[in-house]
Amino acid sequence: CIETGVSAFEGAKPFIENDAEHPHINYRNTPVKSLFELRRLILSFKDFLPRVTVPTLIIQADKDPIVASSSAEELFGMLGSNNKTIKMIHAEHHGILKDNTENTWGVIDTFMDESWELQIKKLLKRLLSSFERHGTLFDITQKGRADSK
């Protein structure tokens, strides 16, 4: 029941067994309530994702046994960002970051480098435009007020 925040199954079965991909670091049992709370969180994303305007990278294993690969496309479509990338990793397991499957960490590094470079270019363009219009650099963090120094 969403109103109470308690799963109907919590009392009867508080945990479900987890066939862990990495048993040395994963839980053997998953609390049913945590799955319920995760579902509530996912539902709340529908209101939040359109407001995300920062550069965003979604990485998903195409044959992930835990998370449906279609969810990555769904999230991607809901994002408000103009700078968004989706990268499907060819893998039949969930732990693509831990295992660095298909150089997942390299994909992240490249995205971050390109995103920062784009943001710096935009900032420099704004500064140059301000200088050309006003003959001085305005402090863009002060919404166009001239720096008196």
SS3 at position 28 = coil
**pTM, full prediction:** 0.61
- Rounded percentage of the chain residues whose pLDDT exceeds 70: 68
pLDDT for residue 136? 62
Name every residue whose Cβ is closer than 8 Å to that of residue 9 and which is 6 or more positions away in sequence: 32
Across 118-123, average pLDDT: 86
Query: Rg of the Cα trace of the chain?
Result: 22
pLDDT in tens, 18-59: 666 665 666 566 677 777 787 888 788 888 999 999 999 999
pLDDT for residue 129? 83
Q: Are 54 and 118 in contact (CB under 8 A)?
A: no
